[in-house]
A and B are shown apart, each in its own frame.
Chain A
């Protein structure tokens, strides 16, 4: 119950982590099933239809429901601590964002048990996703589920933007902000400008499917290419929404374990902003083969290649940070160091794909699959695992086991490269993506076998991480404030896990890497920026949960509004939009309650704070 009503950003972080872990597990099982199907030619382990559902759900789940919440978990756990804030700007919205995300994800995954998962690819290209080619409810689960989950993401993005803009501790100017907070800030801004586009896209697609609209129906005058534009104008920024926080993690972990300041801090900041900006300019590189014409292709091609410049700046800055540093190969640092070459490889294939004429060869082959898995799995997931190992003691008050951590790193990275390196060659040799099997003796056999074995190794690495988490959960809490001993930023100045108010007194920031600065000046702790006083806290509330349930019900009602049920009562309530109305009444009713009864929260008094101080 505590967990259903919490508005504490640290608990919401754990909720995001659990939810992300759940969906990551589902997506992982789907991945293994895909690889098992492809282990040998002419395999009939799963049917073609099931295969389509598997790849669709795998991509959708991983991107929207797997890595996204883990990123949000880290952002929730870390940002307020890094900027010296007691909370996020809108604790209520924070909780609402989580619950809408979770219920959207659950709705999407309900499709597995309610007769047919989406099967039109994670990009849901029309006309494949039209009712003509996807007649069951699969794609409806996709449009409605992602819509609801996307709402949660958007809410989260706005919340982080406001938090970072207004709630930084005194002295923390923008140019003193830790890199993880910076990249999260830019990511949130990208969410704000990219997600509304996909919101519209999903609305249009569901109107086509459920209300019989003609946006993408050629027969009614609609245009399938329009869908691609709308999808990718969101979709390309989305891949940078995912990778930027990972950049942030690497920029925290590498300086900490090199005992050196991040090389080129301000160039890192500007590179991040530049990447975000260019990220919005290049969407059509996913559509070179659609036939946009040579001029458009050339422009988008060049714009895409430009992204390699700020990205390269980042890579060199990380290398120069390590250069001459006292490097410690802890498990977070192993993941961070492993990140660099893997990401470089993904970037290089990206530039190859960005060359429009070459892309005519690569497009829709395993080469593309290899490219984006290098960036999304090899780099991004490494980055997230690095961040999780790094901040785990702060989040849970317990150190993860280092041996298991290293073991899981080696399984992960070796398995990863085995799985995806060979796919470059499969692609160059002409193996198409999204086909459920292939003929023997086209030289695809061995490489696919290698790839499947790699996937199993990689899965083992993730399992070891899970075991590590469980083993650690059994240990008693009580690690030090600064368990890695070389912490540089504000989160390492408070107990692990932090008390619910984070900072007893808001600290005064005197430079980049605020804690390191004090350490170098010989101080044991931060100078407080305010006298000890009562702390105002928001009260817990169940309303965000109830509102999300309402949206969930309305979503289901909308999806099945045309369905003929065998039960006449069911048909009645669905076909007359009654279910939709019930759901909306629940949601708007909770909003009304929220606005009529002001919630003033409560205070932690000075005496209490002093007592805890004695205890700690």
Chain B
């Protein structure tokens, strides 16, 4: 291992994610990547808005959505964003154990959200006969919400691996940017969900 990378815990700066050029590059590139992701979701939202009334005699948004359920899911995801903030704060205080715990809580909440989503989709497909092929509305709904769900699933997997990494390698200037960036990702997913909740669910109920 080369000397420039092997930093001991004691010598770790306050913001270890920005201590090296690689770390700063990672954070910057991730901001850029999120810009691209914003366009991606923007296009999906535009598609959804264009097609949301094309129900092709299938179920409509108003008939399908159960707001209490989605509101609960929204709450879960918002809280998970908060716990990931706690994780980053723990990292800045170099408290590795607390960092791991907060990441685990975040992952757990993410899993709860995913469970809710899977249950929701399952109900729609089986009880309401609302599948991918039902209408343009259904295609747009499953694609937009499903894309978000896939992002959540990816985040859960990613952060889990990071937790493992933290056990193996501890907090270093190499692992810190990864933690920081994954938290950025998680907030982004959360923000997207807030839009989904508004545009898909609330607007579907009232609009």
- Which residues of B sit under 8 angstroms from A439, Cβ to Cβ? none
The reply on A89 being an interface residue by CB < 8 A is yes
A166 touching B24, Cβ below 8 Å: yes
Does A214 lie within 8 Å of B32, measured CB to CB?
no
By size class, the interface of chain B is 35 or more
Is B139 a contact partner of A215 (Cβ separation < 8 A)?
yes
**Nearest Cβ distance between residue A600 and chain B, in whole angstroms?**
5
Q: Fill in one digit per residue for B161-195: 1 if any A CB lies within 8 Å of its CB, else 0.
A: 11011001100001000100000000000000000
Chain B residues, Cβ within 8 Å of A223: 50-51, 54, 136
Which of A162, A199, A221, A222 is B25 in contact with, Cβ under 8 Å? A162
Complex-state Cα separation, A213 to B48, whole angstroms: 13
Distance in angstroms between the alpha carbons of A230 and B139 in the assembled complex: 16
Bound state CA distance, A196 and B46, in angstroms?
13
Residues of A226-272 whose CB lies within 8 A of B: 226, 230, 233
| Nearest B residue to A193, CB-CB | B39
Knowing A162-B28, A598-B174, A600-B5, the reply to whether A220 touches B135 (Cβ < 8 A) is yes
A213 and B133 contact, CB distance less than 8 A? yes
Residues A214 and B138 in contact, CB atoms below 8 Å apart: yes
Given contacts A162-B32, A226-B51, A595-B161, contact A196 B43 (CB under 8 A): yes
A158 and B56 contact, CB distance less than 8 A: no
Shortest distance from the beta carbon of A549 to any chain B beta carbon, whole Å: 21
Least CB distance, B77 to chain A, in whole angstroms: 22
Q: A221's contact among B33, B135, B161, by CB below 8 Å, is which?
A: B135
Q: Are B56 and A220 in contact (CB under 8 A)?
A: yes
A161 within 8 A of B: yes
Contact of A601 among B2, B44, B55 (CB under 8 A): B2
State whether A166 touches B32 (Cβ < 8 A): no
Q: Which residues from 580 to 616 on chain A have a C-beta closer than 8 Å to any C-beta of chain B? A: 592, 595-596, 598, 600-603
Query: Given A213-B132, A221-B136, A223-B50, are A90 and B2 neighbors across the interface (CB < 8 Å)?
Result: no
Cβ-defined contact, A221 with B137, below 8 A = yes
Residues of chain A within 8 A (CB-CB) of B123 are none
Residues of A in contact with B, size category: 35 or more
The reply to whether A215 and B133 contact each other, CB–CB distance below 8 Å, is no
- Given A197-B43, A207-B143, A214-B138, also A165-B28 (CB < 8 A): yes
Does A502 make an interface contact (CB < 8 A)?
A: no
Chain B residue contacts of A159, Cβ below 8 A: 29
Please give me the residue from chain B that is nearest to A89 by CB atom: B25
Interface: A536 (CB within 8 A): yes
Interface residue SS majority, chain A: helix
Using Cβ atoms and an 8 Å threshold, which residues of chain B touch A226? Answer: 47, 50-51
Q: Which residues of A contact B33 (CB under 8 A)?
A: 158
Distance A592 CA – B164 CA, assembled complex (angstroms): 11
> Contact at A193–B36, with CB atoms within 8 Å?
yes
Docked complex Cα distance between A154 and B115 (Å): 32
Q: How far is the CB of B47 from chain A (nearest CB, A)?
A: 7
Question: Judging by beta carbons under 8 Å apart, are A603 and B2 in contact?
Answer: yes
Residue of A nearest to B175 (CB): A598
In the assembled complex, the Cα of A382 lies from the Cα of B95 at a distance in Å of 58
Tell yes or no: A428 within 8 A of B by CB.
no
B interface majority secondary structure: helix
Which residues on B sit within 8 Å (CB–CB) of A600?
A: 1-2, 5
Q: Is the CB of A596 within 8 A of B136?
A: no
Smallest beta-carbon distance A196→chain B, Å: 4
Q: Is A192 an interface residue (CB 8 A)?
A: yes
Contact B168 A596 (CB under 8 A): yes
Across the interface, which residues of B come within 8 angstroms of A221, CB to CB?
Answer: 51, 54-56, 135-137
Q: Could you tell me if A200 and B40 are in contact, using CB atoms closer than 8 angstroms?
A: yes
User: Does B4 lie at the interface of the complex (its beta carbon under 8 Å from any beta carbon of A)?
Assistant: yes
A492 to chain B, nearest CB (A): 26
What separation, in Å, do the CA atoms of A199 and B50 have in the docked complex? 18
Could you say which of B21, B36, B136 contacts A215, with CB atoms under 8 Å apart?
B136
Which of A482-521 touch B at CB < 8 Å?
Answer: none
**Complex: how many Å from CA A592 to CA B143?**
27
Asked whether, in the complex, the Cβ of B139 is within 8 Å of the Cβ of A201, the reply is no
Is A42 close to B, CB under 8 A? no
B117 to chain A, nearest CB (A): 18
Of all chain A residues, the one with the shortest Cβ separation from B40 is: A196
Contacts of A471 in B (CB 8 A): none
Contacts of A215 in B (CB 8 A): 47, 51, 136, 139-140, 143
Contacting pair A158 B133 (CB below 8 A): no
Beta-carbon nearest neighbor of A595 in chain B: B161
> Is B128 located at the chain interface by the 8 A CB criterion?
no
The reply on B10 being an interface residue by CB < 8 A is no
Given A192-B35, A592-B161, A598-B169, are A214 and B133 also a contact pair (CB < 8 Å)? yes
Asked if A195 CB lies within 8 Å of chain B CBs, one says yes
Q: In the bound complex, what is the Cα–Cα distance between A223 and B55 (angstroms)? A: 13
Instruction: Say if the beta carbon of A135 comes within 8 Å of chain B.
Output: no
Within 8 A of A (CB), among B1-52: 1-2, 4-5, 21, 24-25, 28-29, 32-33, 35-37, 39-40, 43-44, 47, 50-51
A212 within 8 A of B: yes
Looking across the interface, which residue of chain B has its beta carbon closest to that of A198?
Answer: B43
Contact with B along A75-104 (1 / 0, CB 8 A): 000000000000001100000000000000
Residues of B within 8 A of A601 (CB): 2
Contact among A158, A166, A213, A598 with B143 in the assembled complex (CB-CB below 8 Å): A213
A233–B133 CA distance with the chains assembled, in angstroms: 26
Contact of B54 (CB < 8 Å), options: A211, A222, A592: A222
CB distance from B12 to the nearest CB of A (A): 16
Q: Please provide the 8 A-B residue pairs with the shortest distance between their CB atoms, ordered closest to farther.
A: A221-B54, A221-B136, A213-B139, A196-B40, A196-B39, A200-B43, A212-B133, A222-B136
| Interface residues, chain B, with chain A CB atoms under 8 Å away | 1-2, 4-5, 21, 24-25, 28-29, 32-33, 35-37, 39-40, 43-44, 47, 50-51, 54-56, 132-140, 142-143, 161-162, 164-165, 168-169, 174, 178
Query: A interface vs B, CB < 8 Å?
Result: 89-90, 154, 158-159, 161-162, 165-167, 192-197, 199-201, 203-204, 207-208, 211-215, 217, 220-223, 226, 230, 233, 536, 592, 595-596, 598, 600-603
24 contacts between A and B (CB under 8 A): A89-B29, A90-B25, A154-B36, A158-B33, A162-B29, A166-B21, A192-B39, A196-B40, A197-B43, A207-B139, A211-B132, A213-B133, A214-B56, A214-B135, A214-B138, A215-B51, A215-B140, A215-B143, A220-B134, A221-B56, A221-B135, A221-B136, A230-B43, A596-B168
